[in-house]
Structure 1
Amino acid sequence: MSRILLVEDDHSIADMISIYLSEENYSVSIAYTGQEAIDLFNEAEPDVLILDLMLPDTNGIDLCKQFRSKSTVPIMIVSAKSEVAERVNALMNGADDYMCKPFSMRELAARTSALLRRSALTRKVKAAASAASTKPAAQQETSDIVVDMEKRCIYVHRQPVETTYSEFEIMKHFWLHPGKVFSREELLNNIRGIDSFVTERSVDVHITNLRKKVETDPKDPKHIKTVWGVGYKFQQ
């Protein structure tokens, strides 16, 4: 049974979400404040974090950044703030998905399932990851970027780089398919699932953030290339 940590200060909304997701066979823990969420996080060991931005004791974005700094758990933001700037800000600060209130419980469950499916995919690609890691030692030594699937870590010049869940998923697909051109739609489907509504702008935000983390000159990228009119590709 997948575990969800729900951070929501409105008790009625929290109860409604908890009841619905429990009926969908999820184990749900509820925190009503940011501090309760921090205290409960290690105990609950969630597979997905559902986080409201408007909390009584802290800024939800700050809390999102705090969780992202120590964990790769998928984070879904739920908020009454529907502006594009708010959604982009959340994605740039570690969120993997964003839902605007009010929303349907069915859609929330579908998006949660999509995030979990992407996590499960990581375990299923271990065989492919092993094949990718069997490059000759000399080649590995000269590679600027190395992706460790089991540790879910990206190394740039042998130094670990912190990434969000979605950033790692994008980089993983690039790494497993060097030279392949991915459309934005394909990348969205890979990281979230076709039943989760997100925009192509989300991919551009993740790509921009990835370039800042892995490229020597993000404005003139050597590895993550734009294929104009199509999408993106990775070259080592």
Structure 2
Amino acid sequence: MSTILLIEDDQSIADMISIYLSEENYKVRFAPDGKQGKQLFETVHPDVIILDVMLPDMNGIELCREFRTLSSVPIMMISAKSEVSERVKALVIGADDYLCKPFSMRELAARTGALLRRSTMNKASSEPVRAEARTIRVDTEKRCVYGRNGIVETTYSEFEMMKHFWLHPGKVFSREELLNKIRGIDSFVTERSVDVHITNLRKKIEEDPKDPKHIKTVWGVGYKFEP
């Protein structure tokens, strides 16, 4: 049974959500404010967080940001604020979904299920390979690259190249093929730009950039990625 952490200060709304999700076979833990929400987060290890934007003791957006620095748990923001700027702000700082009040309980349950399925798929993609944990992982939806020490900061072009490698492990790509993947953001890039991006990526993800284990050169052809 999946555990939902619900952080909502409106008791009537919280009761409706708790009852409906409980009937959908979820275990719901409720907190009426941010302080208690953080305490429950540390003890119950939820599978999904449903977080209200307007809390009595803190801004839900900032609490979302804090949760995201600690965990990749799916977070759904709920709010009476329907402005596009508010939704964008929440998604940019790390929320996975945003639902405007008033909303249907059926839609809430459906979105919760979708977040859980997506989370399960992401966890499956990072399971051990040949008894050794992957040291590199790419989340294409959140546009994040994860290394040994957490999130790796990448440029737009570096991420596009890394995503292409990740989706085709072991495949050898020519410089021209990789160039076509990043040309959309900069029409003036050259094949030399590919080598520069490769060098930068190796510095960011390889334990020893001079002896790369993941992004390998295939002499006379191009590059390939070994996860």
Q: TM-score, normalised by structure 1?
A: 0.60
* Deviation at residue 75 of structure 1 after TM alignment: 0.4
Q: Which residue of 2 aligns with 1:82?
A: 82
Q: Does 1:154 align with 2:146?
A: yes
Q: 1:177 aligns with which of 167, 171, 186?
A: 167
The whole-number CA distance in structure 1 between the counterparts of 2:161 and 2:79 is 28
Q: Which residue of 1 aligns with 2:129?
A: 130
Secondary structure at the counterpart of residue 6 of structure 2: strand
* Deviation at residue 42 of structure 1 after TM alignment: 1.6
* Deviation at residue 35 of structure 1 after TM alignment: 0.4
Change (3 A) 1:40 1:172: farther
Secondary structure at the counterpart of residue 88 of structure 1: helix
Deviation by residue 1:71-112 (Cα, 9 ceiling, x = unmatched): 111000000000110000001111010000011000000000
* C-alpha contact (below 8 Å) 2:75/2:96 kept by paired residues: yes
Q: Which has the higher contact order (CA 8 A, sep 6+)?
A: 1
Change (3 A) 1:172 1:68: farther
Unaligned runs of 5+ in 2: 154-159, 172-184, 186-195, 199-223
The whole-number CA distance in structure 2 between the counterparts of 1:173 and 1:70 is 24
Q: Which residue of 1 aligns with 2:119?
A: 119
Change (3 A) 1:123 1:68: closer
The whole-number CA distance in structure 1 between the counterparts of 2:129 and 2:163 is 14
Runs of 4+ in 1 over 3 A off after TM superposition: 123-127, 170-176
* C-alpha contact (below 8 Å) 2:7/2:52 kept by paired residues: yes
Change (3 A) 1:171 1:105: farther
Change (3 A) 1:123 1:71: closer
* Deviation at residue 124 of structure 1 after TM alignment: 3.3
Deviation by residue 1:122-155 (Cα, 9 ceiling, x = unmatched): 343357x738x899xxxx9xxxxx3279xx9712
* C-alpha contact (below 8 Å) 1:147/1:172 kept by paired residues: no
Q: Partner letter of residue 112 of structure 2? A: T
5 Å-filtered alignment, 1:191-202, equals: none
Secondary structure at the counterpart of residue 81 of structure 2: coil
The whole-number CA distance in structure 1 between the counterparts of 2:43 and 2:34 is 15
The whole-number CA distance in structure 1 between the counterparts of 2:7 and 2:88 is 20
Change (3 A) 1:100 1:42: same
CA-based RMSD of the aligned residues comes to: 3.6
Secondary structure at the counterpart of residue 103 of structure 1: coil
Q: Partner letter of residue 150 of structure 2? A: P
Larger Rg: 2
Identity percentage over the alignment? 53
Deviation by residue 1:45-86 (Cα, 9 ceiling, x = unmatched): 100000000000001111111111111110000000001100
